[in-house]
Every structure is written in C-alpha cells, then in structure tokens.
Amino acid sequence: MKYVERQGNDVIFRSNGETIRITPWGRDSLRVRAAQMAEIRNDRFALLDADTDANDIEIRLEDERAVLRNGKITAVVEVSGWKRNGRLSFYNQKGELLLRETDGGNALALTPREYLPQTGGDFALNVTFEGQEGERLYGMGQYQEEQVDWKGCTLELKHRNSQASVPFVISSRGYGFLWHNPALGFVSFGKNRTTWHADATKQMDYWITAGDRPADISRNYADAAGHVPMMPEYGLGFWQCKLRYWNQEQLLQVAREYKKRNLPIDVIVIDFFHWPHMGDYRFDPEFFPDPAAMVKELRKMGIELMVSVWPQVALTSENYGEMNQQGLLMRADYGEQIGMRFVEDSMFWDATNPRAREYVWNKCKQNYYDYGIRIFWLDEAEPELGTYDFRHFRFHAGNGQEVGNIYPQLYSRAFYDGMQAAGQENPVNLVRCAWAGSQRYGALVWSGDIMSDWTYFRRQVCAGLSMGAAGIPWWTTDIGGFHGGNPQNPEFRELLIRWFEWGCYCPVMRLHGDRQPAQPVYRKDGSRALNSGSDNEVWSFGEEAYPILEKYLRRREELRPYVRALMQEAHENGTPLLRGMYYEFPEDENCNLLRDQYMFGGKYLAAPVMEMGARERSVYFPVGTAWRNVDTHEIIQGGRRLTVPAPLHVIPVFERL
C-alpha cells in the first residue's frame, strides 16, 4: 500500500481521510498543511509567494515514508502507530533533529493532529510536537509578562489592548516556526510537549525554517512573510505626544516651544476625539479650524504631524448609515450591533473587507492626507471589543473565532495600500496591535495602554525583545507608561527619566501618556468634551529631569546615522533593532535567559535601570567580547558579570569593540 506521492516539488501523504502536503517555501524552509476529508487550501493569511531554488530540493519516496530536503531543512513523513497516521519530523543539514510530532501512542491511540468536529462547521484543531530538553523559545509577539523564553509557558493566541499575538517563534535548536492560522486559540510550550490549538479552522497550516543563527531565521521569515519598508527619516528622531492636544493652537504652541528651546523633534501627534463623532474621519472644525495651515506651519518647522484614527464607527456618525447599509461593518451574530461602548456606542469597521478598507482610506485621504498628513495612528487595532468575545462577531473573511487574529494586519494594510496608491514611499503608521505579516504594511507597533509603574516598565523591555524576534522590527512604547503618572510626583519623575533614557535606545523614541490630573475640555456652548491630560512635554517634569531628558534627546540625534543603518538592516534582512542577548551571542549559554539587558543592533549593549532608587546595576558581558562604556569610556573585557554605576542621569550603555 502506497501512502506517499510526489506532485511537482511537493510531497503528499494520505491516510484515514487525512491529506498532508509538504511544500518547499523559500530558502531552507517548508510549508506544511493538512486537512481532514477536504482538499488542501492555499490561504495566504501571512505567507507570500516563495522564492525557492529548485536545484536545492531533494525528494525520496518509499511506500510508507517520504523525505523532502530543501536546503538546510529536511522533512520526513512516515506511517506511525496502530492507526497508520502520518508522523512528521524535521532535521537540519547536519542530520540533527529540530522538531518532531508526538507519536501515535499505540494503545493510547493518540494522534499528533487532532481534528475536533464542530456541529455544523469545521474543526477545532490540536497539533502536538515532542518537547525537547534544554530548548529555549523566543518571539511570539507581545505579552505583558517578564519573560523572553516561553519554554514552560502557555500563551493565548488572541489580541488584547497591550497584547499582540504574533505566532512566530525562534528556537535555540536552530529553527523558526510560524503557526499560519489566524484563529483564536492557545499554544502550550510544555516540558513534555508543545501543543498548538485553533478554536475553529479548516486545516492545519504552518511554516518551518532552519538557520545556523537567529539572524538567518529572521531573514528567512522576512522573505516568507514580508520585509518591513525602509523607515523614513522622521522615524529616526523624537516623537512628542500626550493625551490629548485638544485644539490646533495648543498643539502649535508646543511645537513652537520645542523649536524655541532648540530641542530635536521629528513628529508631533494629535490623539483621539479630535473628530465630531467616532467614524467621521475628520477634524472637528470647532477645535481644528484650519488643518491645512496647521500642517503647513509644522512642516516649516521640520515637524511631521501624526493623527489618530479609530476603527469604531459610532451609531451617531455621519458615515454609519452608509457603512452599515453597504456591509462594511463587523456584525454581531446575535444581540445588539454594538462592539464597544466608550463615549458613544459604536461598531468596528471590517478590515477584512477590501471594500471597507477602500472606503475608510478614501475618507481619511480626503480629510487628512490631502492636508499633507503622512502618518496615521491606528489605535484600537485588536480590535478592542467590549468583552473581547470574538466568537460572536462575523467578518467578511469569516467568523471571528476562525479569522479574528488577522484584523490588525489588514487594518494596517488599508492605510499602507492607500498611501502607496497616493504615491507615498515607505509608509509608516503607528498601530496598537499586529499579527504575522503586519511588518510588510509599515506597522510600527506600540505596546498599548500600559500602567505607569516599574513592573510595567520591566515588562516592556521583554515585550520589545519578543516582538523583534517575532518578525516585527518596528516597535515602541509610551515613555513613562500610559495610565497615570503625575508630573509633579517625584517618584513618577524618576520613573519617567529612566523610561526616557531607555527610549533613546528603542526603534522609535516616543513620549506619550495620560498624565494626571485630568484637564476638563468644554465646547463653546458649555458642554463637556473628552478630557485632556496634564502636560507631558520634556520640560514638564521639573528642573532635575529637564537636563537629563535633553541629554538623551541630543544623544538620539547623535545616534541617527546608526539608527538609520539598523533600519536599513531590518528592511533588507528582517533583523530586529532590539535583540535579546541570545540573538547576538547564541554560543554563550549565560545569555539565554537575560531579560533586563539587550543589544540595540549589533553594536550597543543597553542595560536600563528598572528599579526605583537604583544607582547601580549588574550587567553580564558575553564571553570573547570587549566593551567601552559610552559615558565613562572604561574598557571592559567579557566573560563576566559586573556591577556598574548608574546615576540618575545615566543609562548604562556599552559599545562593542
């Protein structure tokens, strides 16, 4: 009985109503799909067309076993267990095992691919691999935890405010793995096994690559899922933001003050509720009477304007009726057609619908882009449903349980495609969430509405490292945190200083937050508008803080050529700017679990101070390296851990020699 066959450069395995297809998909990479009682689909949720060297492919077939080699990775599929199911194993070019599915268990009657039927629908799916002793797993996007190695952890495959589930992982064993499925679910990286679970899906679909070093894996993944554009020049400097500049003159006064003080600034931001109603996609003329003149004055000062756009369309919006009639909004499967209640009841527009993407972009082009605005802040991108219960919402692409995780990627795509069609090169838009492939649509992801405290500060360092490993090189955070923080509070001032110092060594340096106490805003008729926050400019935090913040603004300018080179590297090779120590030094086991220091590119080791009152901290210097302290110029030999001074005005940073 013959279980395997060849179709072109693909290997097909069939047994018990299941079909497995293994396809060479880019350099040293394979795409693996499987379906129960159905033909294999070619969904392109994240994967692009593969550039594969046919001369580097080798296939060997037996009756019950097939071997497919594509460059440095080899897949073996073979009959396993009493049930005669297929079992998959993957090896590197040395013949070393990278990853293998669990076996059939014989009397246990287990299967590595478990299709759980759903009445009237398709399947829930479990895919299970053997645990590997000593393995470290990096990436997976942004989770608010102090972790960089996810081995032993269970992660929700679901977006939330400040959580971006990007299901790509880099293994210390020398492979990268993309769970190519936008369904809600979870992954459990257990000691004994790894299980990927989709709540609802039509088939199994994943992509796996082999690489000698993490940078090789990042490059292969970027080739498969898309490269980030080249960051424009205004993305390299400092971005000023607060909640919220509520009128045109207030914003311009802040920009003028930066210029009066001769402080570097590249971007200034108009945050949410500058519109009459959510979903109007235009300025409220009472507060922003002349957007064209505003943009013109800012540009004369060398400052770009970024404007917030939300995906909610209020039931009171001038666009709601047409968008609802045209089917451009998400739909609740039952109950009220309301996705979120904040200021006004609203429903989210459906980013999975190409007509909806075109509609929203055209509104934004007419009312923002045509005034000269070239950067958008795509907030609420998860989307932030009132209860995050995606199961009960339906998209153009399908039920939320099956496709919900793709929303932020297509939200970014709407603006990227529109801006490119308008002739703009290398669009960049700030977005609050991402999924696999978001990077190719100019997504600069920030870490959401986090708290202004030291615990969340530490979590953001881990989040930035994990996002970079997950293939999202453009990443930033609200310097000082979003929720809370009184500029007059000495303890908050210290947190803000330490966060600002670290922000200098992030891909994008952006100051934002809802500072306390809130400032009421009134319309001309006396009615309340949404509050503004307290001041959040670099001169807002006292006499001690100001010269320190100015120092790091100017240092960021000094770093501009270096940051530009890192952005070029990210664009060409998919390499993150924020790199865990393991990424640059995989041979040094002492680097595997470091989560409070990192590499900013290949040159600088940054060790942010993340404890209240600390004026020194411990830093590990990898084996076989030498370093220069950028502030004291002291030379340090690697292979040891040292306690280094860290006065309030210094973030310990070391240049690799």
Tokens linked to 217: 């894996």
User: 235-311+349-573 architecture in CATH?
Assistant: Alpha-Beta Barrel (3.20)
Q: Among residues 223, 379, 494, 514, which one is catalytic?
A: 379
Q: Considering the chain, what percentage of its residues have pLDDT values greater than 70?
A: 100
pLDDT of residue 104: 78
Whether 75 and 90 have beta carbons less than 8 Å apart is answered as yes
Whether 20 and 27 have beta carbons less than 8 Å apart is answered as no
Residue 191, Cβ density class (10 Å: 0-12 exposed, 13-18 middle, ≥19 buried): exposed
Buried b (16+ CB within 10 A) or exposed e, 83-109: eebbbbbbbbeeeeebbbbbebeeeee
Tell me how far apart the alpha carbons of residues 612 and 645 are, in angstroms, rounded to a whole number: 15
Cα 75 from chain centre:
29
- Would the CATH topology of 4-225 be identical to that of 580-656? yes
Tell me how far apart the alpha carbons of residues 220 and 225 are, in angstroms, rounded to a whole number: 9
Cα 464 from chain centre:
9
Q: Among residues 10, 78, 449, 557, which one is catalytic?
A: 449
Tens of pLDDT, residues 283-331: 999 999 999 999 999 999 999 999 999 999 999 999 999 999 999 999 9
Residue 414, Cβ density class (10 Å: 0-12 exposed, 13-18 middle, ≥19 buried): buried
Active site residue 382: yes
Tens of pLDDT, residues 404-446: 999 999 999 999 999 999 999 999 999 999 999 999 999 999 9
pLDDT of residue 182: 98
C-alpha angle with apex 150: 413 to 431, nearest 5 degrees? 20
**Helices 248-260/291-300 angle, 10° precision:** 10
Q: Among residues 382, 402, 501, 514, which one is catalytic?
A: 382
| CATH superfamily for domain 4-225 | glycosyl hydrolase (family 31) (2.60.40.1760)
Tell me how far apart the alpha carbons of residues 565 and 259 are, in angstroms, rounded to a whole number: 27
Tell me how far apart the alpha carbons of residues 355 and 394 are, in angstroms, rounded to a whole number: 16
pLDDT of residue 83: 81
Whether 100 and 89 have beta carbons less than 8 Å apart is answered as yes
Tell me how far apart the alpha carbons of residues 78 and 386 are, in angstroms, rounded to a whole number: 47
pLDDT of residue 613: 98
Q: What is the pTM of this model?
A: 0.97
User: 580-656 architecture in CATH?
Assistant: Sandwich (2.60)
pLDDT of residue 427: 97
Tell me how far apart the alpha carbons of residues 495 and 230 are, in angstroms, rounded to a whole number: 32
Domain ranges of the chain: 4-225, 235-311+349-573, 580-656
Cα 645 from chain centre:
33
Helix (H) and strand (E) counts for the chain?
A: 12, 42
- Ranges under pLDDT 50 in the chain: none
What residues contact residue 498 under an 8 Å CB cut-off, 6+ apart?
Answer: 457, 608, 609, 610, 651
Tell me how far apart the alpha carbons of residues 234 and 428 are, in angstroms, rounded to a whole number: 10
pLDDT of residue 651: 98
Active site residue 384: no
